[in-house]
Amino acid sequence: MATPRGGAAPTGPDRSPPTHWVTLTLLLLALATALFLDGYSGNGFRRSTTASSGPSAGIEGAGPILDFSKRDPASVPMPPKQIALTFDDGPDPRWTPAILRALTRHHAKATFFVVGAKVARHPALTRRLLAEGHELGSHTFTHANMGTASAVRRNAELSLTQVALAGAAGVRTSLLRLPYSSGPEELTRGDVVAARSAARYGYLLVASTNDSRDWQRPGVPAIVARSLPSGGAGAVILMHDSGGDRHQTVAALERLLPALEQQGYQFVTVSQVIAQARSAVNPRVSTAARIQGRSVLGALTVSRAIAALLRWILLPIVLLAALRAILVVVFAARHVRARARTVGGYRPPVSVLVPAYNEGVVIAATVRSLASSVAGDDEIVVVDDGSTDDTAAIVDGLALPRVRLLRQGNGGKANALNNGIRNSRHDVIVMVDADTQFEPTTIDWLVRPLADPTVGAVSGNTKVANRGRLLGRWQHIEYVLGFNLDRRMFDILRCMPTVPGAIGAFRRGALAGVGNMSSDTLAEDTDVTLALNRAGWRVVYEEQARAWTEAPGSVGALWRQRYRWSYGTMQAMWKHRHAVRERGPLGRVGLPYVLAFQILLPLMAPAVDLFTLFGLLFQDPKPVIAYWLVFNGVNILLGAYALRLDGERLGVLWSVPLQQIVYRQLMYLVVIQSVRTALSGQVLPWHSVPRQGDLRVG
């Protein structure tokens, strides 16, 4: 049909500026940025290690504090009987305070080489380190391997850590310890390149003389033994205050510090070793730098909150999808058993109504197929709704028995159907779209459930006829796996939301009781079905009543059709929203189900897809890949079950994973567009779909 249902026809197509797409794009970009920030800043939260990789740079005999600003690196040795305690990978809200308590008990100061991303997460703890007299050095922003990182990555790791320190504590640092490195002799060639690059920005590289290797958790005695210097020599001791379980580190400190004190060692910081004031290695920053740092920390806080929210949202989405899969299988099996007990033989005379507007390409095949499905006193009423092509002439020229043609001015599909109802003779009305063909036994099966006087309408089984191409195949899968499985469940639960316009049978009295077809929405089929439910009529599904319809053959045509369906469904749901208060199965199950799975979940889909990509890029990809494989495996199994129930071949299942990647996104965008239109209060015109006449029945 070509005109809007209800209200005046617009003068042309919707030409409003696509500001909602701009808004959606900006929102997705903002979300992607937030996820990127969270993913990048969390990329270093891994198990600690000081195991280096790569060819050695051959630095032997150097002191643990190195200056690579000159061609030949200078180093500072540790004076005898002096201990510089250093801790990597923090700050950590659990282990750093425990280590601070141990240091305080023994009046020891230390240098903490912090990870910038953790500074951003724990700014108060960072300030506490400074307040208790300790020093801060950089351990990069994400614990990156600087020896293998690109120049851009190296600069970003250093500058972001400085920004985090400025925002958290108002300081910067001139001390650097490279992740995955320990003593000077273990520095790789790549490490030296990174150290020389950092030296241009004023950094001193701080290595170690005694690596406790506490990240291996070898036991408290082993950590203490590795940390103790020999022969009264000075030492830079490397330990960790984050990056894993640090029980052994804390316990080892409680033994190590008293032992060093008894041997006459003095605890110093790196600044004391190089004879500088602490303010020289941790100078205060300008107000502008502090504001910039706080802004970055704020952005990271927001990004973490968004990522956490998406994690919480993803869980119920996964559970809902799993629950739906279980429910549709259980209820489909019950539906098969219930239909097997249906008594046959009920076949009243029917009036078949075919509303048609510019359907010249398909109308002849449709009417001929209907003529083969009617018998006895049945009639076929074609209502030409002011077509501007040869639709009416083609129907006239067929000269088939039991076929009548009604002509009217263009008034919309609902108006055409009501005209057909007024001018039809029988108490059972079968409504058929003009692009749909019936099998010879379709009507016999369709009207059989009406033998039950409580049944007011019957939904038939709509099949996609033009499934030769990929787009048609995807729609075929959608009809069988989505629409028809859902209808089986709705039938059992007595809350069928839609008898499709392509094929449906109605009692005349039931239609009259709800005012026949309404022009209030663009989905007159959903509107009238919801009205019948609310009026107390049962609406059932008969899978043996097959109707073959021509699905849209192009993306543009599919968009127009689904946009109308989605928007019309929202209109109908809003019109019948009071069903929720009526406590019937429609309000308790039907409408909430449609709201959840046809509106809310599609609205969340772009964010969920972004979060999935985030998981692949920044987290362990194995769970994400496993989820995707399980999700598609369940869909394939569900599809196989649905296809078997419908007597279809299983060969189309190969396209299910590809459907999830491409077709699903298009359907989500349709829902987003429809929600935008509904919220704006805009009147959507009827979007006709061009016909190809490409139908293969059976």
| Single-letter amino acid, residue 106 | H
692 close to 361: Cβ distance less than 8 angstroms: yes
Half-sphere exposure of 31 (CA within 13 A, CB side): 21
Beta strand extents in 183-250 (DSSP E only): 204-206, 210-211, 235-240
Please tell me which residue in 122, 134, 143, 240 is annotated as part of the active site. 240
- How far apart CA 95 and CA 689 sit, in angstroms, is 65
CA 30 to CA 311: how far, in whole Å? 17
390 is a catalytic site residue: no
* DSSP 8-state code for residue 580: G
Q: Of 442, 449, 447, nearest to 463 (Cα)? A: 442
Residue 346 · residue 450 · CB < 8 Å: yes
CB atoms within 10 A of CB 287: 9
Residue 352 contacts residue 378 (beta carbons within 8 Å): yes
Residue whose C-alpha is closest to residue 138's, from 171, 113, 160, 119: 113
| Cβ neighbours of 163 (radius 10 Å) | 24
Report which residue type is found at 565: W
Q: DSSP 3-state helix, strand, coil percentages of the chain (rounded to 5)?
A: 50, 15, 35
- For residue 266, give the H/E element and its range: strand 266-268
Look-up of token digits 């209060």: 681
H or E element, residue 660 = helix 656-661
Active site residue 240: yes
Nearest residue to 114 (alpha-carbon basis) of 205, 68, 175 = 175
In this structure, how many other beta carbons lie within 10 angstroms of the beta carbon of residue 406?
A: 21
Q: Which of 38, 88, 214, 384 is catalytic?
A: 88
CA distance 689 to 692: 10
Q: In angstroms, what CA-CA distances link 447 with 398, 422, 442?
A: 26, 20, 9
316, 561, 606 from 319: Cα distances, Å: 5, 30, 18
Q: How many CB atoms are closer than 10 A to CB 490?
A: 28
* Nearest partner of 656 among 483, 478, 485, judged by Cα: 478
**Catalytic positions, please?**
88, 240
